[in-house]
Amino acid sequence: MSRGRAIDEVLADVMAFFSFRSFRTRLLVFLLALLLPVLLGIYIFVNQENNQYTTDTIDSYLDLGADVFDFTREEHKNTLLTITSTMTRDWGFRNAFGTGDPYTIIDAADNILLRSLGAADMMLISSMEGKVIIDTKTQGFDNLEGEWLALMEEAAKSDDGIGDAIINVLGVPYQITVIPLFLPTPVAWIFGGFPLDNTFTDTVKQSIVSDVSIVEYRNTLSSQADMSFNGSAVEVIASTLKPADQARLTEQLQRTGMTYTDTQRIVLEDGEYGTLMRPLYGEPGAPLQIVAVIQKSYNENIENLEAFQRVLLQFYLAVLGLSLIAVILLARSVTRPILNLAARVRRIEEGDYGQSTYVSGKDEIAQLAGSVNNMALGLVEKEKVRDLLGKVVSHEIAEELLSKKIELGGEEKVVTVLFADIKGFTTMCETTAPEAVLTVLNRYLSGITKVIEDNHGVVDKYTGDSVMALFGAPLTRPNDAENAVRAALAIQECMVELNSVNRAEGVALMEAGIGVHTGLVVAGNLGSQNRLNYTVIGDSVNLSARLEGLTRIYGTPNIVSEVSLQHAPGFVYQELDLVRVAGKSEPVRIYQVIGAQEDVTPEQYEKIRVFADALADYRAQKWEQATAKFENLQLSLPVAQRAESLYSVYLERMTYLYKRKLPADWDAVFTFDRK
């Protein structure tokens, strides 16, 4: 369980590591992940091959060098033979030998050595039986012995009387050859030799371009099979190596022993050397063996290898650089259109549909760009429709229409309907040009509309200079009636502001008449299949319109029905009357909303109280008392407003009632029988 989670965490880490911020980074990492192992693999492979190749090359150089060494030694030997052979047929030498005088013969021998220009270094002459006649090295034996005797016997057995061997002369290994001296039959053995010393190794080095050492092994072990040597057994006799390297060689050879077949690697001062041995003297396992050690440094090839590695690395850097540039360009070719598209989509999100994105090509991104452009065009169309709809109908209705499937029919709901009419507009039409009328009308309607919408009302329709507004349709809010009453008060304030503009322009001042009623209506789409109208219908709508009309009669800016008052109790109302409107049998108690409770002044409260007393007197048919109170109220108004005021309505009505004989069940309901 915990292990599974650990794996999950690791996986999450890995995924987090690979979730890059940009497409370019991802592409780069991908490229590197792909390219680097390949390059690395190639590098390792090539390096390995190269190493193998250089090793093989050095080894083959060594083999060649060893062969050339053998050849060179053979040539040296032949040169020695040629010299001894030719010199001993020299008449002077023959004469000298003919004398039989050792001193003369030794001088003649020295003379030959001198004339050999260093190719021969020593000469020994013995009788055919092996008696030493002269020895330029004065080794001190009278008869041939040991290796000398063995060489003589070997030469005698051979068909051509010639033999060669490496013989230790006073501690130095000599390459020795032997031929007979003919006078004219063979009368003596002529031994000639040159030392395998530094001069020799230097000479050989010139022809094989490898270091050459002459190494002596003294096998102190009894077992012939044991090829290893102890410390004192290996000795470098001659070498082209520096003394320090000779010591290293000695030390190494003591450890590894002797082999003629394998190439050894021996580390000298300036690096590793391929090392090959060639036998000069002694069978393997013999007590004394002398070998030639041929060595070639790997350095030269390692330098070549390093040069190659440098070139390879430079090539890799170029490849990587070019690949990176290519990837960046590729990423840019992908990401730039995508970023452009993203910006475009963001702009569309913000509502800016213009400036279509141009993407060249036919790839997926181009297709996407085309789709985005098409989408933007579609959105523009839709937005245009929405915009237009919002202008023709109210914003909420437009939303309702756009969000729901449009169908005929409706639903019953309680809605507060507000009618607002601009009084005095008709009069203005008679005296003002139509364009100016429209301008002013639009200004008023715009102002009223804004107030309505600010109070969450929905303008249902404009009918000439009047506005019908709904509170509670299409969306029902808990305080629709309250919103409607507040809207009515706000419209009145708005009229004051608009009138100040009118006053400045010299246009006639306007007043609003507002009716508010709350009741059950049917809300929905009305009309035909092809042309619909979202609206509400019902008695409540009619009543609301009637109440608006009554404002002209009562001289009040607004009339609110009792139902609306009950739905919006938080305001100060003044009861106006109890009326029966045309087409309705039920009486309706009507009120004027004075304002929000905190806005109403004590004077206004006093007036409301007095009016309520007066109204009570009126309903109690106490005409004199009522008249007195109404008249008092009327006197509080400016003279210009007295004739059109609410109080004058009652004063006039009472003069009429005064003369009438009222029935016993007079309900004080005033009936309006015309619309």
Partner 1 sequence: MTLTFLNSKTVQQARAVACCTVLAASFALPSQAAELRIALQDAETGQPLENAVVEVLLPVGLQAEYSAGADYSVDQVEKEFVANVTVITVGSRVNFPNSDDILHHVYSFSPAKVFELPLYGNGQSVNFSEVFAQAGVVEIGCNIHDWMLGYIFVAQTRLAVKTDANGQALITDVPAGDYRVRIWHARASADSTELEQQISFDDAQASNLRMALTLDRDNRLRRAPNVSRTRYR
In the complex, the residues that contact partner 1 under the rule CB under 8 A are 89, 91, 94, 97-98, 127-129, 153, 156-157, 159-161, 180, 182-187
| Cα distance between residue 103 and residue 87, in whole Å | 18
Task: Give the helix ranges, DSSP H, for 393-505.
Answer: 395-403, 425-431, 434-454, 480-505
C-beta of 91 vs 656, nearer to partner 1: 91
| Cα distance between residue 659 and residue 229, in whole Å | 162
C-beta of 78 vs 641, nearer to partner 1: 78
CB 99 to partner 1: min, Å: 9
CB 82 to partner 1: min, Å: 10
C-beta of 84 vs 449, nearer to partner 1: 84
CB 292 to partner 1: min, Å: 24
Contacts of 163 (CB under 8 A, 6+ apart): 151, 152, 154, 155, 177, 178
Structure tokens at 49: 């091959």
C-beta of 157 vs 531, nearer to partner 1: 157
C-beta of 186 vs 378, nearer to partner 1: 186
| Cα distance between residue 491 and residue 452, in whole Å | 8
C-beta of 149 vs 227, nearer to partner 1: 149
CB 49 to partner 1: min, Å: 43
CB 180 to partner 1: min, Å: 6
Q: Which segments within 170-270 are labelled E, that is strand?
A: 172-182, 186-195, 211-218, 234-239, 264-268
Structure tokens at 429: 């039409």
CB 177 to partner 1: min, Å: 13
C-beta of 132 vs 233, nearer to partner 1: 132
CB 85 to partner 1: min, Å: 9
Question: What is the three-state SS of 577-607?
Answer: EEEECCCCCCCEEEEEEEEEHHHCCHHHHHH
CB 120 to partner 1: min, Å: 19
| Cα distance between residue 234 and residue 225, in whole Å | 17
C-beta of 182 vs 316, nearer to partner 1: 182
| Cα distance between residue 272 and residue 264, in whole Å | 10
CB 186 to partner 1: min, Å: 6
CB 121 to partner 1: min, Å: 23
C-beta of 152 vs 615, nearer to partner 1: 152
Q: How distant is the alpha carbon of residue 638 from its chain centre? A: 81
| Cα distance between residue 322 and residue 328, in whole Å | 10
Torsion of CA 75, 76, 79, 83, to 10 degrees: -160
Q: How distant is the alpha carbon of residue 158 from its chain centre? A: 88
C-beta of 5 vs 157, nearer to partner 1: 157
Q: Which segments within 328-465 are labelled E, that is strand?
A: 409-423, 458-463
Q: Which phi and psi angles does 612 have, rounded to 5°?
A: -65, -40
- Determine whether 378 is exposed, middle or buried from the number of CB atoms within 10 Å of its CB (0-12, 13-18, 19+): exposed
Q: Which phi and psi angles does 350 have, rounded to 5°?
A: -80, -5
C-beta of 161 vs 587, nearer to partner 1: 161
CB 163 to partner 1: min, Å: 11
Rg (CA), the chain: 66
